[in-house]
Amino acid sequence: MNLEQLKAFVEVAQVGNFTRAAERLHLAQPSLSRQITTLEQDLGAELFHRARSGSTLTVAGESLLPLARRMLADADSVRRELDELAGLRRGRVRLGATPTLCVSLVAEVFAAFHAAHPGIELHLSENGSRRLLEELGAGELDLALVTTSRGDAADRFIVAPLLVEELVLISAAGAPPVTDRDTLPLAAVAGLPQIVFSATYDLRATTDAAFDNAGITPNVVVEGAEMDAVLRFVERGLGVAIVPAMVLVERPGLRSVRLREPTLTRTISIARPADIAPTSAVRVLQRTIARTAADLAAAASATMRLADVDPGAARSSSR
C-alpha cells in the first residue's frame, strides 16, 4: 500500500466514478484501475461495488476512507514540515473561515502574511463553521476561524477564543438615519426593510434566533444574499442589515447604530487539530491572525465610538 494508491482510492470514493477520478488525477483510467486493484489485493478485500452507473464503497471501503484521508493528511504535514527546515521560504498553509470573516479579517491577515512570507502558498476554504470543523477533522485544513462551537470539538480540536465582536445595524450613509439615538431596540429593527444573509451563514442563525426569542418577525425585503451583496445592497439604500462591526472599517458608504434589548455579539475562535503539531508556518499564521484581529477590533471600536459622538465625522475619518 502506497500514497498514490490511497490518493486514487479517496478520489474515486469522492466522485463515485473511475473515469472522472482519473481525469481529476491526470491519470489514464487503466492506470488508476490498476492502482485500486493492487490496493484491494494487498488488503484482501474489495473496496468498491462497480457498476455502469458508478462505483460505491463496500463495507471495507467505508472503513478505509477516514483512515486513508488521515494518512494522506499526515504525509502532507510531513512534507510541509520538511520544506520548512530551510525556513519559511516555501510551503503551504490551509485556512478555513466563515464568509463574514473573509471580507474583513482574512483579507487583512493574508495581506500581512504574504508580505512577510511570499514563498508560502495560502489556501482558503470559505464555509460555515460546521463544515469547517469537518474539514479540519478530515485533515483538509490546518486552522479554522469559526463562530460556533460543537459538543465534540473539545476532544478533536484545540479551540481558542479570539475575540467577541458586536453586531450592529447598518444603513446607507447617504440616506436619513434610521434613528437619532445611539442605540436601537431589536423590536424597532423588525419594522425596517431588512436584507438578510443566506441560511448557510452562522450569522443568519444568530439573528433569526434573536428575533424568535423576542417573539417578533422581521420585515425582510431581500433574503439569501452573500456578505458582499448585503453590503452593496445596503449602500444602495435597499434596506438595512445586521452585520459584524468589523466590516465597517474603511466603508464610508455605510452608517451604523448599536443594538439593544438585546445586544447581539458573536465569539470568533481559532481551531486546529488536537492530534497534529502545527508547522512553523501554521504557528506564524496563527500569530498573524491574533494580531490582526486585535487591530481590527480596535479600529471597529474607534469607528463606533466616533459614530456615537458625530456620525458625520465617523464617515469622514473612515475615508
The DSSP annotation for 86-144 comes to: G-TTSEEEEEEE-HHHIIIIIHHHHHHHHHH-TTEEEEEEE--HHHHHHHHHTTS-SEE
Q: What is the mean pLDDT of residues 11-16?
A: 93
Annotated domain spans of the chain: 3-72, 82-163+268-298, 164-267+301-318
Render pLDDT for 143-158 as a digit per residue (tens, 0 to 9): 999 986 444 455 789 9
Distances (CA, A) of 172 to 177, 214, 238: 8, 26, 9
Report which of residues 215 and 100 the model is more confident about.
215
Q: What type of residue sits at position 53?
A: S
Res. 308: pLDDT tops 80: no
Going by pLDDT thresholds of 50, 70 and 90, the confidence category of residue 304 is low
pLDDT of residue 148: 61
The CA-to-CA distance between both ends of the chain, in Å, stands at 59
Going by pLDDT thresholds of 50, 70 and 90, the confidence category of residue 241 is very high
* Architecture (CATH level 2) of domain 3-72: Orthogonal Bundle (1.10)
pLDDT of residue 150: 44
160 forms beta bridges with 270
Backbone φ and ψ for 27, nearest 5 degrees, come out as: -120, 155
Cα distance between residue 33 and residue 136, in whole Å: 29
Q: What radius of gyration do the chain's Cα atoms show?
A: 24
Report which of residues 67 and 306 the model is more confident about.
67
CATH of 164-267+301-318, one of 3.10.20.90, 3.40.190.290, 3.40.190.10, 3.30.300.30: 3.40.190.290
The alpha carbon dihedral of 155, 157, 161, 164 has a sign of: negative
Residues in contact with 86: Cβ distance below 8 Å, sequence separation at least 6, in sequence order? none
Sheet strands (E) in the chain: 48-51, 54-57, 91-97, 120-126, 143-146, 157-172, 183-185, 193-197, 219-225, 241-244, 254-260, 265-273
Fold matches, 3-72 and 82-163+268-298:
no
pLDDT of residue 104: 82
Q: What is the mean pLDDT of residues 49-63?
A: 91
Render pLDDT for 160-189 as a digit per residue (tens, 0 to 9): 899 888 899 999 999 999 998 889 999 999
At the fourth CATH level, the homologous superfamily of domain 82-163+268-298 is Periplasmic binding protein-like II (3.40.190.10)
Res. 86: pLDDT tops 60: no
Q: What is the mean pLDDT of residues 20-37?
A: 91
Cα distance between residue 198 and residue 218, in whole Å: 15
